Amino acid sequence: MILRSAQKTILRLSKGFPIVGITGPRQSGKTTLARHVFPDKPYFSLEDPDIRLLAEDDPRGLLEGCPDGAVLDEVQRAPQLFSYLQTNVDEAGKTGMFVLTGSQQFGLLSGIGQSLAGRVGMVHLLPFAMSELEGAGRLPESLEEVIFSGFYPPIHDRHIAPADWFSSYVSTYVERDVRQLVNVRDISAFQRFVKMCAARTGQLLNLSSIAGDCGITHTTASSWISVLEASYIIYLLRPHHRNFNKRLIKSPKIYFHDVGLAAWLLNIQNADQLRFHSQRGPLFENLVISELLKKRYNAGLNSNLYFWRDSRGLEIDLLVENGEELIPMEIKSGRTPAADFFDSLKKWERLAGAKDTPSFLIYGGDHQMCSGNTSIIPWKEISRLRI
């Protein structure tokens, strides 16, 4: 098993909360991690029809049979359990009893918010981080191979070809989850919709444009975007609210939680195609943003990532909110830093009056350098950023 950075966070939370919740996309390793961290706890998967029937017919009996707690997998499939869990842990008065996993934010977080508020320490577990693969000696050498392969555990644990795995993943999990959450009558339109989202990686979300290209209504597009976000397929990077007396763009930008899935949806057939592909830049942005997000989530923290763009077109790819300080980052896929890579950072420095604030340029090369207050960080060093 490849060690996960979130393991320490889960153990820490289990000492302070009666329940630990682990949520994230399907096949991100939630079950494997929960069972590894708590090998002595009984395990129940609510995907199993027999276990789900038991949870529905006799939830009190199921929980009372686990005096020291249990791992309850995909617990959103039996939402009535949440109320019984509240009573159970309140009466027991112990920490670290139950571990709940779920792959749909709507179901798991809704149940926790309604019945278990204040009783659950939450961790969002995304697919492998680069640092985790590097620690296990399984991180591909080239940037193109990293983007093409993505980070879902089965691709790296079982050595499955990315194209084979992503095809099965989309049809088996993504489309099934969508059917559970909304009534999708035209599955081909939904498949087209997901591919259109991939084609817009790194762009402002324009629901009217996507809806028009897919032949669906704006309302349907909004619903499907919400489902993809709730199922941890896409991530919407929000604009920062600080306006510096300029009119701000208010739409979020669309990224995927796994860059390999985005590459597959773009019909990229092999890693070599990424060397000169028109979407190389947006996919590299996606890689950097998802890696920084994993770093936060694995530590049990919420996202502090934003972008900034005004109506005149000045844009900072990424703003990291660190207390009252905003740390600007530019993301460039080129292998050699060019002078124009720094243009937006210089404009931001003048606009924000932040001459002494550190800034970062993350690029597709191999060497770490400095230029004034800007640290130039190669792609393999993303996880080592202390922000």
So what's the pLDDT on residue 110?
65
Q: Quick check: 387 pLDDT over 90?
A: no
Q: CA-based angle 291:296:302, to the nearest 5?
A: 125
Q: Give pLDDT tens digits for 225-245.
A: 988 998 899 999 999 977 665
Q: How confident is the model at residue 290 (pLDDT cuts 50, 70, 90)?
A: very high
- CA distance linking residue 87 with residue 67, whole number of Å: 13
Bridge partners of 327, per DSSP, are 320
How far is CA 171 from each of CA 164, 174, 177, rounded to the nearest angstrom? 11, 6, 10
Q: What is the number of other CB atoms lying within 10 angstroms of the CB of residue 245?
A: 6
Q: Give pLDDT tens digits for 133-186.
A: 999 999 999 999 999 999 999 999 888 899 999 999 998 877 777 776 677 777
Domain ranges of the chain: 6-124, 130-238+251-279
Q: What is the number of other CB atoms lying within 10 angstroms of the CB of residue 80?
A: 12
CATH superfamily label, 6-124: P-loop containing nucleotide triphosphate hydrolases (3.40.50.300)
Q: Are the CB atoms for 274 and 263 separated by under 8 Å?
A: yes
So what's the pLDDT on residue 349?
85
- CA distance linking residue 294 with residue 6, whole number of Å: 9
Q: Give pLDDT tens digits for 52-97.
A: 999 999 999 999 999 999 999 998 888 889 889 999 999 999 999 9
Q: For the chain, what is the largest distance between any 2 Cα atoms, rounded to a whole number of angstroms?
A: 67
Q: Which DSSP letter does residue 241 get? A: S
Q: Give pLDDT tens digits for 185-228.
A: 777 888 899 999 999 999 999 999 999 999 999 999 998 998 89
Nearest of 323, 342, 322, 321 to residue 332 by alpha carbon = 342
Q: What is the number of other CB atoms lying within 10 angstroms of the CB of residue 313?
A: 8
Tell me which of 33 and 310 has the higher pLDDT.
33
Question: Which residues in the chain belong to E strands, given as ranges?
Answer: 19-23, 43-45, 71-73, 98-102, 120-124, 234-237, 253-256, 305-309, 315-322, 325-332, 359-363, 369-371, 374-378
- For the chain, give the percent of residues with pLDDT over 90: 72
Q: Which DSSP letter does residue 141 get? A: S
How far is CA 342 from each of CA 21, 262, 281, 318, 376, rounded to the nearest angstrom? 41, 27, 16, 14, 10
